[in-house]
Amino acid sequence: MSMMKRTPFFKILIANRGEIALRIMRTARRLGYGVVAVYSDADRDALHVREADQAMRIGEALPSQSYLRIDAIIAAAKASGAGAVHPGYGFLAENEDFALACRDAGLVFIGPSPESIRAMGNKAGAKDIMLKAGVPCVPGYQGADQSDAVMLKEARKIGFPVMIKAVAGGGGRGMRLVADAAVFPDALRSARSEAQGAFGDPTVILERAIVDPRHIEVQVFGDRYGNAIHLGERDCSVQRRHQKLIEEAPSPAVTPKLRARMGAVAVDAVRSLRYEGAGTLEFLLDPSGEFYFMEMNTRLQVEHPVTEAITGLDLVELQLRVASGEPLGLVQEDIKFSGHAIEVRLCSEDAGHDFMPQSGRMALWQMPGGVRVEHALQSGSEIPPFYDSMIAKIISYGTSRDEARGKLISGLEQTAAFGVTTNQGFLISCLRHPAFARGEATTAFIGNHRAELLAPRTDDKAEAALAALLLYATHPQAPAWRSGRSLAAAFPLTTRIDLGQAVHEVDIVRERDGGYLASFAGGEQRFAIDELGCDTIRFRTNGLMESARFLRDGDRLYILHRGVTTDVRDLTLAAPVSAAASGGDGKVRAAMNGRVVAVLVKPGDKVAAGQPVMTLEAMKMEHVHTAGVTGTVSAIDVAEGEQVTTGKIVVEIEAA
């Protein structure tokens, strides 16, 4: 104990936002630390701000960059009296300049040293270190010459398909899978642009694309006394846009023997670096059982709760103890694994439209019981367009994988997220899919099964009929619902309902026996209401009694029925939709709130329908907008760097 090098602190500033900040606050408070939050103007009323002991404003004009302002965060820590800074698990957690600035300011950085971040936080440097250590790595190019010609030459040498990956950061930013040489230049430009915007560094590396692998990561911890352990692996194979959606521990594909091999490699790397704190080594596991090092994340991961569930350890607590100078207090033999845990990332995105991010007001937000939920929202919260689309993590634990999977499906079915489109239904489809249920999902899972996972509802007319029933029964001018027979004469109400895939016309009327008849093209459906509350309905149809949650919000009706949230637009009194919505009028409109990062055409250019004309960044991802018609560009209505709202005209084209 006399040899311990303590760095005590009593108050922690958390340099992150949302559920990340709340998660760290929870453990910090349990251990007796004071907590300070930081916020941008967009987050002034956010839950993490209200929950902290103190909160410091750090940004104004461009909220997406506020949480990356090192000088502002250091100043906030000094002003609040914090003695330590926890970077959360965002980009600053892997920023050596930030770790060094904390050290120079006399603040404890709750994470690895700047030297370790420099060594392993850069993908190119990390691969060089691992190659020298004899760790198998994915073949590729990580040279200093970043010219377009050299990059294309090296890509041809590696052989297509290749991966372009930003050397800094993670989270799928600056990453592109390129199938052939013809599209390589455009993919390279896009990856560099996204990397520059996310990390301030456009440098990329190239890697051979391993076909149909699993994405396996190993959680490690080290302390300043040379102790190092691993906490097993996580399987993060279910991804879209190279970003994880579902993670689990342990991996269905990793045997105890393979776990020991991968864990030994990871621990050797930690010891060689004299690494302090939490880290994750990421590997690709090919179908033959061979694994290849990809990168090391020098931070705590979003998916750490599944590791906590099967080990019984609080990983944030370990971080705080190590940062204060305590030894780990654990050896590898102390780590025991029990049961199975699965996490899903609930994101504000439209899975049916290429996972396009969504922002706006969350009219109703109610999370399920019986599972662990990490979130920072409440009913009425605004989801801004500046940050990541993940709005909650839902984690289940069971003695077996099937038990954990079942609990998670049940939890998602009870989740009420009304007002902003989420991937809730898509996650349920993934968890229910036979390939996932058998533990066979690889990184190709979503691509291989996309049509099945996004299959349109087969009972859309039944859903339209239920929507019509709710619109009728909750209409402001309708008589209050009462059970039993109705003696009053009733007239049918014709409703036009948009379920997102199609518009339905439904006639609905209350009959004298107290029931309701919904008539639509090709059939009819009878309902009996047993109970109608302000946000729930219990009803019977075709001999089956069911219940649903709902919310009326202007011309919108949100229904949670059979685990699926349906966003219904009441078009009964709406004007007809014009061709403008599809761009058929020659006007390209912003598909979401976001920032213009590239205008790809200029007035007078000839363009073809489907040709890229503008790139918009929303929720840290780039989205290319294309021409709706063939013709000549007549006007550019935005400038690079401009923040635009959904529906704004950005490019005008005079049709040929």
Q: pLDDT tens across 53-98, in order?
A: 999 999 874 555 788 899 999 999 999 999 999 999 977 898 999 9
Q: pLDDT tens across 124-147, in order?
A: 778 788 887 777 888 889 888 999
Strands 516-520 and 523-532: antiparallel
CA distance 46 to 596: 26
Element (H, E) at 196: helix 184-199
Q: pLDDT tens across 480-522, in order?
A: 677 766 655 567 788 999 987 788 999 998 888 888 999 998 8
Cα distances (Å, whole numbers) of residue 233 to 256, 304, 385: 11, 10, 33
Mean pLDDT of 389-399: 96
Cα distances (Å, whole numbers) of residue 205 to 48, 123, 202, 599: 36, 8, 10, 26
Strands 108-109 and 84-86: parallel
Q: What is the model's pLDDT at position 548?
A: 96
Q: What is the model's pLDDT at position 486?
A: 64
pLDDT band for position 114 (50/70/90)? very high
Mean pLDDT of 275-298: 91
Neighbours of 271 (CB within 10 A): 14
Mean pLDDT of 575-600: 73
Answer whether residue 592 shows pLDDT above 70. yes
Q: pTM for this one?
A: 0.84
| Structure tokens given for 645 | 């709202």
Neighbours of 593 (CB within 10 A): 22
Q: What is the model's pLDDT at position 480?
A: 67
Contact status, residue 499 vs residue 467, Cβ threshold 8 Å: yes
Angle between helix 424-432 and 445-453 (nearest 10): 110
Mean pLDDT of 466-490: 75
Mean pLDDT of 143-163: 92
| pLDDT more than 70, % of the chain | 94
Question: Which one is predicted more confidently, 392 or 484?
Answer: 392
Q: Which residues are catalytic?
A: 299
Q: pLDDT tens across 593-645, in order?
A: 788 888 899 999 999 888 889 888 776 667 788 888 999 999 999 888 888 87
Q: What is the model's pLDDT at position 633?
A: 92
pLDDT band for position 384 (50/70/90)? confident
Walk me through the domains of the chain, giving residue ranges and CATH numbers: 11-110 (3.40.50.20), 139-208 (3.30.1490.20), 214-453 (3.30.470.20), 460-570 (3.30.700.30), 579-655 (2.40.50.100)
Mean pLDDT of 471-487: 73
Question: Which one is predicted more confidently, 117 or 481?
Answer: 117
Answer whether residue 407 shows pLDDT above 80. yes
Q: pLDDT tens across 196-214, in order?
A: 877 788 999 998 888 889 9
Segment of 220-234, 443-457, 522-536 carrying the highest mean pLDDT: 220-234
Angle between helix 148-158 and 184-199 (nearest 10): 110
Q: pLDDT tens across 335-374, in order?
A: 999 999 999 999 999 998 889 889 899 999 999 999 999 9
